Amino acid sequence: MALKGLFRKKTVQDILKQVEKNNADGHNALGKHLTARDLTAFGIAAIVGAGIFSTIGKASFDGGPAVIFLFLFTAIACSFAAFAYAEFASMVPVAGSAYTYSYVAFGELIAWIIGWALIMEYAVGNITVAISWSDYFTSLMDNIINNLNHKNHWNLQVFADWVQMDYLSASNGFKDATALMQSGKSFENLSVGMQAAYTAWTSSPVFFGIHLVADLPALFIIILITSLVYRGMKESRNASNVMVLIKLCIILLVIAVGVFYVDVDNWSPFAPNGVGGVLKGVSAVFFAYIGFDAISTTAEECKDPQRDLPKGMMWAIIICTTLYIAIALVLTGMVSFSTLNVGDPLLFVFEKLDLKIMSAIIGVSAVIAMASVLLVFQMGQPRIWMSMSRDGLLPKKFSTVHPKYKTPSFATIVTGFVVAIPALFLNLTMVTDLCSIGTLFAFVLVCAGVLVLQNRTDIPRGKFKTPYLNSKFIMPVLIIIGVVFAFGYNKKATTDFMTNETQINNSADIITSLNKEETQKVYEYLVSIDAKNSTTETPDLEQLLSQYQQDDAKYASVIAGLPIADSIKFESGFGLFKHKIPMWIFLIVLMGLTVWSWKENLSLIPLLGLICCLYMMAELSVWNWIYFTIWLLVGLTIYFGYSRNNSKLNIKEA
């Protein structure tokens, strides 16, 4: 196979000619209905959803009030990437987003890889949002049913736990709950989520040894949204605009009411888990921003894409960042950050403060807000497939446009199935991380594409161009500042990283790894070292062991003395190093980018976008990189088995 053929490129001129031809004969042409205001609304619809109503809770739990700095950093990184997207969208105003841009900048193989990654972004992202929507919907319905029962002395049944939870969450929650109860923790002292998972698993029907646990509300909302997207862009736009208006009003109401219940003592300590705790929420916080790139998939349906797409992206990011920071400060001020590790944090906070009317309003608005995110993502996915199909990389059926509704009909239906089935079984954390890594990879390539094309004179430029700042001297200075900070202000963490220093596992991980015999040994040891003998009154090993974590030296001493294998107590050697592989990849690439910027006088903004997005990828676990690599290998198998030979560029060459 000739290597040259793998990197054959489409020209901007050919792409624009094909769009003009489609518009002229009406064949495969999409309806043009969108303005800058509509695009901004789509961006807000996509960004203000699961992030602000769901994943912000876990991020605040990990980072404390200092999570606002992570929102700010992520917004800046996304703004850098948005400049690159906007420049490409102005240059190549067609559906396809990063896939089409990569076809121009890097060639067919990279375009296929990015298109395959975008399938993960939109499909897995919608699975995440559907699961979050289901959490809020079932919580809202349970509250309504319980109130009706109490008020009217009815006996209506709430949703069974096993029809409102995914299979993996129930299975994993049951295992962890069993281990903790075996170590002495009572069922009542388990977290609410773990109690629900345990109940779902134990109460579910079992056929041939398989527990039937599935998230049916998630399936319902995906079917409903897919039907709306199939119906037409104008209808989708109108529904999105209404939902955006409603949720913006509700969020402003939450901020206005919540600010009166803020206790500034809850902001101390501001960063309880340090920089590491703040960065731990990278995937959750970044997931909150991924919607802005979905705007670029609607380029062919814009009235003036070269002017309106850049405006829509930038305004969406600015508005949403302001809202995120305000909400994070209000949430962490109303209650302690340590209580926010829940799937519905806004609802949880107002229920905890017994503000029943507000919690009801939030429950309803969250259901609307996340439905609007689903709407935007379900629009984006089919348009990626349609673009790939037009190029011959997917079967022709995927580029079918409905004659009446002017939407990619077949691709929309397939998207519904691809999202609906996994939503029944996959858990929130896994799909959030997978969605984030696929999106970040797309952002990295789009930023790199702008850098590759910056000095090309044969590319027609659009109305928008990223402001140019020469990074030749700035990049080395930034590297030096980074090194000084790492070794001057964060020396221990840096040296531990470089030397692969053995790490002590936290108490929850240790306790849930023990068998019954090991649990008894640990309990006897804790009794023997407890001068106050409080362990005889409180046989909850996870609680007893975690009390020593407040003092690092004491905790290390206690863990070292536990009569269990070191592999349970510590993480070391390759088992520890493998988690650092993504960060080492980032550091090596960073050095290469610095050399490249020196030689080629690269533009600073897209270069910073590339670096920031790659850094956030490095903060994700090595398992996400492994799963993502497997996904890409599956995609490459399809490419070499079907797409390469059926590519229109290949047919043209032949």
Secondary structure of 372-406 in HEC code, one letter for each residue: HHHHHHHHHHHHHHHHHHHCCCCCHHHHCCCCCCC
CB 237 within 8 A of CB 390: no
pLDDT (0 to 100) of residue 271: 82
154 vs 157: CA distance, rounded Å: 9
CA distance 615 to 613: 5
What is the per-residue pLDDT across 308-363, written as a single tens digit (0 to 9) for each?
A: 777 888 888 888 888 888 888 888 898 888 888 776 787 788 888 888 788 778 77
Other Cβ atoms within 10 Å of 592 Cβ, number = 9
Decide: helix, strand or coil at residue 470.
Answer: strand
Q: Give pLDDT, residue 590.
A: 93
Dihedral of CA atoms 39, 44, 45, 48 in degrees, nearest 10, equals 170
The H-assigned helical ranges of 30-107 are: 36-47, 50, 56-63, 67-91, 97-105
d(C-alpha 591, C-alpha 132), whole Å = 39
Q: Give the type of residue at 619.
A: E
Question: What average pLDDT values come out for the chain (654 residues) when binned by 10 residues?
Answer: 68 70 56 74 74 74 86 84 79 68 81 83 77 79 80 72 77 83 77 80 84 84 85 71 79 86 87 78 71 70 76 84 86 86 77 80 78 77 83 86 80 86 72 76 84 74 78 91 83 81 79 79 77 55 72 79 82 82 92 92 91 87 87 90 86 64
Give the pairing of strands 503-504 and 570-571: antiparallel
Closest CA to 541 of 218, 62, 183, 211: 183
Mode of pairing for the β-strands spanning 570-571 and 206-207: unpaired
- With a CB cutoff of 8 Å and minimum separation 6, the contacts of 110 are 7, 102, 445
What's the rounded Cα separation, in Å, for the pair 102 and 556? 50
What kind and span of H or E run contains 210?
strand 210-211
- Asked, as a colleague might, if the bond just before 467 is cis with ω within 30 of 0, I would say no
Query: pTM of the full predicted structure?
Result: 0.77
Return d(Cα 604, Cα 144) in angstroms, integer. 53
Q: How far apart are CA 531 and CA 524, in angstroms?
A: 13
Residues β-bridged to residue 34 = 302
* Residue 364 tokens, joined: 């309803």
- Residue 438 in contact with residue 127, Cβ under 8 Å? no
Per-residue confidence (pLDDT) for residue 88, from 0 to 100: 76
Q: Say what the pLDDT of residue 623 is.
A: 85
Within 8 A by CB and 6+ apart from 648, the residues are 390, 391, 392
**Collapsing DSSP states into helix, strand and coil, what is residue 504?**
strand
Q: How far apart are CA 399 and CA 583, in angstroms?
A: 39
Residue 139: what pLDDT? 77
* pLDDT at residue 1, as a whole number: 44
Residues 6+ apart with CB under 8 A from 654: none
Position 119 scores a pLDDT of 79
Look at residue 27 in the predicted model and tell me its pLDDT: 47
